Structure 1
Amino acid sequence: MEISSLSPFKTDTIIEPFRIRSVEPIRFTTMEEREQLLKEAGYNPFLLKAKDVVIDLLTDSGTGAMSSKQWAGMLESDESYAGSSSFYKLESAVQDITGFKHLIPTHQGRAAENIFFTTIAKKGDVIPSNTHFDTTRAHVEHAGAEARDLVIDKGKQPQSDHAFKGNMNLEKLQDTIREVGSEDIPVIMITVTNNSGGGQPVSMANIKGVSEIAHKHNIPFFIDACRFAENAWFIKTREDAFADKKPIEIAQEMFSYADGCTMSAKKDGMANIGGFLALNSDELASECRNLEILTEGFPTYGGMAGYDMEAVAQGLYEALDPDYLRYRIRSISYLGDKLTEAGIPIVQPTGGHAVYLDAKQILSHIPPTEYPAWSFNNALYLLGGIRGVEIGTVMFGKQPDGSEKPAAMELVRLAFPRRMYTQSHVDYLAEVIISAYEQRKKLEGYKIVDSPDVLRHFSARLKPIKGS
């Protein structure tokens, strides 16, 4: 047979677009061991030791595997205190992708949020977003302002079907501006993808719409860009006008509508640490740099080592690689499909970095004030050593005045570290979740016995209500 006469091989299988050259062992524990470990940790998965976790899906922040090019760049880094060449490499990458004039590097995303909101926000201000995530909300409230969530209604309905459930409600945004007044809205934010709402994307049309409203009222518009590349892929695959665009071109257009962004480079920067604030305003950049010097470091390193800046500069481009994004999004939907086939309610459609289990439906016998998502998350650890994170009333229920009200949704987020786990890990994960779901009637609620005033989910200690 002539080689040229062969028909092209066609497959629907999406394989990992990388090879593995270094491996990390996993320590397996028994259920009896995990029961004791969880009790010692105050029934808070955050307080478990990583070595005692079989599959760690607590977060996708800084937990992924870096590439050979990133490691090579780290070896070539410049660790100069001022004027490091690694800074200028990172600056070039950020300016190329975002188009923003000024780069303010920080050790991670929440440091960028701290600098930004400390500089712009004051008591009585309102900062609208589709949905603020936990650290963003905490920094807004620490400055005395109100973090107001304006996601579309379908974004708060886990089973609803909408291609862009992370979209901001433009009518509510306009109502907020009329109610509050533009002078008391220092910035309008939008999170891409919308982490608290199931990792759901925001459409280009919505980003443009928010931008137009903001600029009509002379309000700066900023993007929380942690997962900008994943959002760009959803725009490419779900918004017809962008089907033939490259992810980097889509990202560049997204940023073109904004005045700046905050970024945790531990997500779509593909690095283990790092972040930045990027913006166009000369005056605001100067104010933020003054605070950066006080809290982070000199403006050409800002809390990052040179090798970290090298890793992020390379990682920002790797996150926009179409083959990587195709694999990344499909690996999430693969688990979502298996759970949906088993009848387990999840946030639909699956998001970009995580599968979100709908604990409000799964544990309908446990009221929100007894933390059903926390309960189901702990069950996953007990049964199979799986560590996820609650995004529900423990995380978002406590109000600035100290009162508590149920969160809009009770979710368990299973966030996938980038380039880390294989299909067999995901198959095992599905088996554990299905087993926990089949035993859901045995699960009980929890109560908080000790917690801090801010971001309590990180260090709170709880007890099962039945056993207390």
Structure 2
Amino acid sequence: MEPYRIKVVEPIAITTREQREAALERVHYNPFDLRADEVTIDLLSDSGTGALSAAQLSVGMDGDESYAGSRSFYRFEETVKELTGFARILPAHQGRAAERILFSTLLQAGGIVVSNTHFDTTRANVMLAGCQAVDLPCPEAKNLDSHEPFKGNIDLEALERYLGATDGPKVAVVVMTITNNGGGGQPVSMENLHKTSEMCRRYGVPMFLDAARFAENAWLVTRHEAAYRDRTPRSVAEEAFRLADGCVMSAKKDAIVHMGGFVGLNDLELAEKCEQLLIATEGFATYGGLAGRDLDMIAQGLREVTEPAYLAEREDAARYLADRVRAAGVDILEPAGLHAVYLNAGRLLPHIPAHEFPGQALSCQLYLEGGIRAAELGSLYLGEEDEAGNPIKSAPYELVRLALPRRVYTRSHYDHIGETLARIAKNADSVRGYRIVEQSPILRHFRAKLQPA
């Protein structure tokens, strides 16, 4: 059962099919542009969408809003340092701001950033720095149906080839995303982190963590990695951070807050340069674009998120939804993680070619049928076409992510999602694809305009 009681509720929108059809047409078939009050169940993202605890609200009331040197910052800094062990902690208003500050300072044009898998904003910030983002997911990640427990790992052999190649010095940093969101929310094993850290040190390349879901990764390590089964999630997380040279984190995920993030660093010279950019673009070094109450709520959330009871319930909720999805006749990326369930849209809609975006088609159909908003992670997200709309590059898999906000939805909401998917699966042949009529050069999936194909 949920290890909490509900004491504040918010009504959700109940709309008609006709209203949803009109809304989807108005936003050019891109669910990102829907108004929130047009959505019944919102699984677009788990970022900043969780429910605050009473303890978080309580400490937020004690937030110190001083411009510089607030009590809130020092409470935040102490908590983050105890967790991560990093020498310098720089707050930022969210994870992508932390990425921009780090990459703008650390990277030089022409460099390479290697990762188990870059997520969309990480890749964009690497590209904006004039660098190349290279993904090296482990071979097990290619099999969507297998139940290998650590599909989020980096391919160590491929990494060694990159670091040891002639252009190896061009590799500026290795970024390990835990859990691997772009790879289906799959965890990274501690064995893989240890070996990656050792290899990076051997070649003199820093290793950073994208630690947005560090606690969920630690929980899955305790569940599936034999050497860590008697460890607490907190101790596993502490060990993971201490293998790295630094981290970026969106606190909107595993700090369970609505806004915030930070950069953690051991290199004091790099930290000084990052701090200068932070002050120029985000805010003074002791608030980084955040209110004092935000800093206090992040600190409290970081303490709550590693509680075994919280993590066990989160795993059970994801498992419950995954079971409903399978029962509806829809395959998922196995095994189900904690923060999301990834639908295999390509398999459900084989009649829709990649350049007509089967993931987007399923995402739109979820909204039309049940008022459910989800995110496409397929060829709209990763693909490319020429000016005539002919495919140049397609995604390896056509997925739809059902991201689970923390402490927000109940099992009956998940039942509704399963029932909606069952109706779609029964008439899958009738679902149409889409074509792009307008897009931006990067991160096109956020604001692209589409029409039915």
Give the TM-score of the pair, scaled to structure 1: 0.94
The amino acid across from 1:345 in the alignment is D
Match of 2:330 in 1: 344
1:141-191: CA deviations, max 9, x gaps? 111111100001221321122110000000000111123534211110110
Q: Distance in 1 between matches of 2:162 and 2:96?
A: 26
- Opposite residue 309 of structure 2, the aligned amino acid is D
- Please name the residue that 1:198 is paired with: 184
User: Out of 248, 269, 277, which is 1:291 matched to?
Assistant: 277
Q: Distance in 2 between matches of 1:305 and 1:370?
A: 43
* In 2: Cα distance, 1:89 partner to 1:209 partner: 33
Aligned runs of 1:18-97 on 2, under 5 Å?
18-97=4-83
Deviations 1:244-275, CA, capped at 9 Å, x for gaps: 11111010011111011000000001100000
Match of 1:4 in 2: none
Distance 1:141 1:180 in 2: 22
Equivalent residue of 1:186, what SS? strand
Report the alpha carbon displacement of residue 367 of structure 1 after superposing the two structures with TM: 1.1
User: In structure 2, how many angstroms separate the alpha carbons of the residues matched to 1:290 and 1:85?
Assistant: 22
Alignment-derived partner of residue 7 in structure 1 = none
| 8 Å CA contact 1:193, 1:352 repeated in 2 | no
In 1: Cα distance, 2:71 partner to 2:50 partner: 25
In structure 1, distance between residues paired with 2:241 and 2:385? 32
Match of 2:133 in 1: 147
> Which residue among 378, 389, 399 is the counterpart of 1:392?
378
1:435 partnered with 2:430? no
Aligned counterparts of 1:318 and 1:141: Cα–Cα separation in 2: 35
Cα deviation 1:264-313 (Å, max 9, x = unaligned): 00000110000000010000000100110111010000011101001100
Given candidates 346, 365, 374, the residue that maps to 2:360 is 374
TM superposition shift of 1:358: 0.6
> Equivalent residue for 2:246?
260
Measured after TM superposition, the shift of residue 124 of structure 1 is: 1.6
Q: Partner residue of 2:444? A: 456
- Asked if residue 251 in structure 1 is aligned to residue 237 in structure 2, the reply is yes
Contact 1:182 1:219 in 2 (8 A): no
Q: CA deviation at 1:399?
A: 9.0
Q: Which of residues 290, 304, 310 is equivalent to 1:318? A: 304
Does the CA-based 8 Å contact 1:156-1:197 persist in structure 2? no
Q: Where does residue 401 of structure 2 map in the other structure?
A: 413
Q: Choose from 112, 119, 122 the match for 1:136.
A: 122
Asked whether the equivalents of residues 349 and 428 of structure 2 are also in contact (C-alpha less than 8 Å), the reply is yes
Which amino acid is 1:364 matched to? P
Q: Which residue is equivalent to 1:117?
A: 103
1:463 is paired with a residue of what secondary structure? strand
Q: Which residue of 2 aligns with 1:241?
A: 227
User: SS state of the match for residue 248, structure 2?
Assistant: strand
Using the alignment, how far apart are the partners of 2:396 and 2:108 within structure 1? 26
Secondary structure (helix, strand or coil) at the match of 1:262 reads: strand
Alpha-carbon deviation of 1:373?
0.2
Percent identity (aligned):
49
What is the letter of the counterpart of residue 26 of structure 2?
E
Give the C-alpha shift of residue 436 in structure 1. Answer: 1.2
Q: Secondary structure at the match of 1:253?
A: helix
Q: Which moved more, 1:220-229 or 1:117-126?
A: 117-126
The answer as to whether partners of 2:328 and 2:425 remain within 8 angstroms in 1 is no
Specify whether residues 93 and 404 from structure 1 end up closer, same or farther in structure 2 by C-alpha distance, changes over 3 A only.
farther
Which letter maps to 2:204?
N
- Cα deviation, 1:95-146, whole Å, max 9, x if unaligned, reads 1111111001000000000001111112221111000000000000111111
Gaps of 5+ in 1: 1-14
Q: Distance in 2 between matches of 1:343 and 1:242?
A: 35
Q: Distance in 2 between matches of 1:301 and 1:225?
A: 20
Q: What is the number of residues matched between the two proteins?
A: 451
Matched-pair contact (CA < 8 Å) for 1:109–1:265? yes
Alignment counterpart, residue 202 of structure 2, candidates 193, 216, 235 = 216
Residue in 2 that maps onto 1:272: 258
Q: Measure the CA separation in 2 of the matches of 1:158 and 1:400.
A: 29
Alpha-carbon distance between aligned partners in 2 of 1:323 and 1:270, rounded to the nearest angstrom: 15
The whole-number CA distance in structure 1 between the counterparts of 2:239 and 2:404 is 27
- Code of the residue aligned with 1:288 in structure 2: it is C
Over 3 Å counting, the alpha-carbon distance change for 1:180 and 1:298 in structure 2 is farther
- Alignment partner of 1:65: what SS? coil
Moved more, 180-189 or 416-425: 180-189
Aligned-partner residue type, residue 234 of structure 1: L
Q: Take 2:308 and 2:370, find their aligned partners in 1: how far apart are those partners?
A: 33
Deviation per CA, 1:214-269: give whole Å up to 9, x if none: 00011100000000000000000001111111111010011111011000000001
SS of structure 2 residue aligned to 1:278 = strand
